Structure 1
Amino acid sequence: MPSLEGRNGTRGSGGGRKLSAPRLRSDAPERAGLDPGLPRRLVQRVRDLTAGEPPWAAGAVVAVGRGPVLAVEEAAGWAVRYAAYDARGGTGVELPASSRVPVTPGTPFDLASLTKLFTAVAAVQQIERGTLGIDAEVGAYLPDFRAAAVHRLTVRHLLTHTSGLRPELPLHDCADGAERLARLRAEAPAGPVGTYRYSDVNMLLLQQILERITGRALDVLVHDGITRPLGMTATRFGPCPGAAATEDQRRPWAKADRGMLRGVVHDENAWALGGVAGHAGLFSTARDLSVFCRALLSGGSYGPARILGPGFTELLLAPPGLGFALDQPWFMGELAGRGAAGHTGFTGTSLVIDRATDTFVVLLANTVHPCRRPPDSRPRAAVATEVARAVRDR
């Protein structure tokens, strides 16, 4: 496998001295201080996750690295297995074997809420540049968003999910973009400001701020400030041909009637917003996300590229975390407890970076293919725990 290199020493944010950090290379686990049996165990796990009836996911890819070593990159199952969902039988309608598409390590997946991590990095880049204040009020940047201004919501409230805003708005039911924008402008906190309440709306407001202060769309900010400097050529907002399929999206189990989805965003609100949203919309591969993880573990640098300075990477990942969740055993397993940071996505994705051991775990899966169901993060936690126990020198 080739070295995973960034491009030409581009800096993604700020200015100043050019930093350099190790690039990832594929190598044996023991070269990274990991148990040499880890790949075999994780191969079995991803195979188990994509087996059975129904499987946890139709397909899955896992990538694990420590230091500059990408020690595991394994795939199993199907990127496309089902033609439709049979609601009466509660089962997927399987494609003929000749029409199925296998998952490979390079298969892109709909990241769902992992998109929030990129929005958070884009915001902290603006904080580093001095164009955004973390404790500045939303109303200072979006005076037309009267509800946020009246309740004196701040950028920090949005990044830490303490705005009191409800988890989501039914923007997919709005007639047009003008109505969707009006709903966002009028949305007031439904709970106490300062109390944690996870909300997609936070990242939608943050997107509005970033686009207002920079004059550039979020997809451009993510590309120019994060993915292009890091050489993450497989990471983009959709459409993304060749991505793993997600849901046969129909009412009543979904919020829109769109049929079997592949290469277009699963989240209904992100779809209604044209596929580019602060909370969802990105597609990526395990390898690209490994580079993202390595950059954050290296203080914001990857090779000669820099997307954040070390102090601002610390701001991003220090308690309580800006956009990132910290030390959550329900999906981080035994990696939680020492400042591990990460996130999950509704489609079956997750990412964990553990600064205490310089380790990362990426698990991409299409658990919503062919239909959404109650989330089960036990496999995510089990994979992370397997990695935590493989670290030889804690």
Structure 2
Amino acid sequence: MKNIGIKIIMVSLIFLGVKGYSQKKAKQSFDVKRNEVYIDSMMTNALEKGFFPGAQIIVGTGDFNVISKNYGYHDYTKKQLVKSDDVFDLASMSKVLGATLVTMRLVGDGEIKLTDQVGEIVPMYKNTAISDLALFELLTHTSGLTPSITFYQALLSTPDNSPFLSNQKSEQYVEPFDNMFVNKNIVYDSKYLVFEPKENWVQIYKNMWLNPEFYPSVYERIAKANANPRGKYLYSDLNLLLVKQMIETKTGKKLDEFTNEIYSELGISKIGYNPLKWTSIDTVMPTEVDNFFRKDTVKGYVHDEAAAIFGGVSGNAGLFANAESIAVICKMLMNNGNYNGKQILKANVVKEFTDSPLAKEGIYRGLGFDKRKPDEFFTKDDFGHTGFTGTFFFMNRNTNRFLIILTNRVNPTRTNRLMYKDDFSAKIWKQINK
């Protein structure tokens, strides 16, 4: 027995030595210092020019993080440094890290098929124009649905029917919003929106509750939103709203319950919808100063207005996370659905969703995942997603690299698009894949 114990210890030490050697070799093939200097330089320049107040970055491989750094502050008052536990509003990265991950699980388990149609699963759409849209079309953004609908504006009005927004500042249009100015006489529809808790109403902001009777009008508008040719690529938030409905109707389980199960299996806790339910407000990065709808600096609640309407849990947006939690998901996807010896998603499903099924037709999308037409920054094997709030994650199994960049560039305003004009994230992605 003693000899067997010694052999087990020796084998374990050899395994750890091999693993340590392979990690050291991988690190040697990636010039950490050179890349870290490059990223530091890019970040210093971005912060000086006001691309965003703060950021987290992680560069990693399928096995470990190579570079993990925080930069800047929560906002431009520079009172609170960004820390590793801080969580960012992921915006459209939620499409992949939420609804798409759940869909991958359900497809792998045979509970839902890519050929399933909206009307077959969600009864309210059975006799509508979108009834025969397939899950595949929704995930590849080839459904023909219009890009978005500003549902929340149906909750607003003005006494004299004057426009909500004007491109000219005046006595009536004072506060800025995006590149416009907000009508100071906007009123809220008290039938559907109240500012104190009300039983069975849905909390959509810290001081706003929505009457669920509002939702049928939302679904009716979605059902009439197929104004474009099917089979052509047109990115639309509505696609993922429908994916969420299909998931929840098919299984009887809420989207956030599903995602929490997967996150729990991965051992990550700094990720989820409605962050104030699982972290303190001090660790949540602020987003936009919303002078239009919420009349507040949005912090702790989702920035996207459509996701807000659904109580912060939506297929198109709503997730908050720190970079470390996303890094775990990246490693799982790069290892064909396996993480720490546990098969989280079926390998064939991961491959199917991250490939380019429509590339021959000039459509560079995976299923849920963003892919790009090959150019100076991206290759055909890259996959990931970006978010409106200034978030980015991409990975490539061939180069064995992933990159996560989380920022809150919409603070204090969404008009700040400096990081996009500079190809900021794409440049760093190109650098680490050299």
In 2, the alpha carbon distance for the partners of 1:147 and 1:57 equals 46
1:271-290 paired onto structure 2 within 5 Å: 271-290=308-327
- Counterpart position of 2:404: 362
Contact persistence 1:146–1:185 (CA under 8 A)? no
Q: Is 1:41 matched with 2:38? A: yes
Secondary structure in structure 2 of the residue aligned to 1:79: coil
Question: 1:128/1:181 Cα in 2 relative to 1: closer, same or farther (>3 Å)?
Answer: farther
Q: 1:98-147, CA deviations, whole angstroms, 9 ceiling, x for partnerless residues? A: xx211123321000000000211111211111111101211110121146
Amino acid at match of 2:215: R
Contact persistence 1:167–1:199 (CA under 8 A)? yes
Q: 1:44-86, CA deviations, whole angstroms, 9 ceiling, x for partnerless residues? A: 222221223xx111111111012313111111111133xxxxx
Secondary structure in structure 2 of the residue aligned to 1:370: coil
In 2, the alpha carbon distance for the partners of 1:223 and 1:304 equals 20
Secondary structure in structure 2 of the residue aligned to 1:371: coil
- Counterpart position of 1:243: 284
In 1, the alpha carbon distance for the partners of 2:241 and 2:51 equals 30
- The structure 2 residue matched to 1:338, chosen from 380, 392, 396, is 380
In 1, the alpha carbon distance for the partners of 2:83 and 2:40 equals 13
- Counterpart position of 1:325: 370
Q: Is 1:160 matched with 2:157? A: no
- The structure 2 residue matched to 1:70, chosen from 40, 65, 73, is 65
In 1, the alpha carbon distance for the partners of 2:130 and 2:379 equals 38
In 1, the alpha carbon distance for the partners of 2:47 and 2:327 equals 22
Secondary structure in structure 1 of the residue aligned to 2:136: helix
Q: 1:343-381, CA deviations, whole angstroms, 9 ceiling, x for partnerless residues? A: 110000010011221210000001001111153431011
In 2, the alpha carbon distance for the partners of 1:111 and 1:29 equals 33
In 2, the alpha carbon distance for the partners of 1:326 and 1:281 equals 22
Q: Percent same amino acid among aligned pairs?
A: 28
Amino acid at match of 1:46: M
1:244-263 paired onto structure 2 within 5 Å: 244-251=285-292, 256-263=293-300
Amino acid at match of 1:73: S
- The structure 2 residue matched to 1:229, chosen from 262, 265, 270, is 265
Q: Is 1:31 matched with 2:72? A: no
Amino acid at match of 1:248: V
Contact persistence 1:109–1:364 (CA under 8 A)? yes
Moved more, 376-385 or 228-237: 376-385
Question: 1:179/1:329 Cα in 2 relative to 1: closer, same or farther (>3 Å)?
Answer: farther
What are the ranges of 5 or more consecutive residues in structure 1 without an aligned counterpart?
Answer: 1-22, 82-94, 390-394
Amino acid at match of 2:424: P
- The structure 1 residue matched to 2:85, chosen from 106, 119, 131, is 106
Secondary structure in structure 1 of the residue aligned to 2:124: coil
- Counterpart position of 1:129: 109
In 2, the alpha carbon distance for the partners of 1:30 and 1:40 equals 19
Amino acid at match of 1:182: S
Contact persistence 1:237–1:275 (CA under 8 A)? yes
- Counterpart position of 2:125: 145
- Counterpart position of 1:178: 213
Contact persistence 1:239–1:264 (CA under 8 A)? yes
Amino acid at match of 1:387: I
In 2, the alpha carbon distance for the partners of 1:28 and 1:201 equals 45
Contact persistence 1:65–1:359 (CA under 8 A)? yes
Question: 1:50/1:154 Cα in 2 relative to 1: closer, same or farther (>3 Å)?
Answer: same
In 2, the alpha carbon distance for the partners of 1:322 and 1:338 equals 14
In 1, the alpha carbon distance for the partners of 2:230 and 2:128 equals 11
Over alpha carbons, which structure has the higher Rg? 2
1:171 to partner: Cα distance:
2.0
Secondary structure in structure 1 of the residue aligned to 2:114: coil
TM-score by structure 1 length? Answer: 0.81
- Counterpart position of 1:388: 433
Amino acid at match of 1:229: E
Contact persistence 1:28–1:71 (CA under 8 A)? no
- Counterpart position of 2:350: 313
In 2, the alpha carbon distance for the partners of 1:354 and 1:106 equals 26
Contact persistence 1:31–1:69 (CA under 8 A)? no
Amino acid at match of 2:37: R
Contact persistence 1:29–1:35 (CA under 8 A)? no
Q: 1:289-344, CA deviations, whole angstroms, 9 ceiling, x for partnerless residues? A: 111111000001110332211101011101141111113568xx63x213100111
What are the ranges of 5 or more consecutive residues in structure 2 without an aligned counterpart?
Answer: 1-18, 155-191, 193-210, 357-364
Question: 1:353/1:342 Cα in 2 relative to 1: closer, same or farther (>3 Å)?
Answer: same
In 2, the alpha carbon distance for the partners of 1:261 and 1:303 equals 37
Q: 1:255-285, CA deviations, whole angstroms, 9 ceiling, x for partnerless residues? A: x133111121111111121111011110001
- The structure 1 residue matched to 2:301, chosen from 264, 279, 282, is 264
Amino acid at match of 1:323: G
Amino acid at match of 2:72: G
Secondary structure in structure 1 of the residue aligned to 2:74: strand
- Counterpart position of 1:92: none
In 2, the alpha carbon distance for the partners of 1:247 and 1:258 equals 10
- Counterpart position of 1:190: 227
Contact persistence 1:79–1:103 (CA under 8 A)? yes
Question: 1:112/1:356 Cα in 2 relative to 1: closer, same or farther (>3 Å)?
Answer: same
In 2, the alpha carbon distance for the partners of 1:32 and 1:192 equals 50
Secondary structure in structure 1 of the residue aligned to 2:298: strand
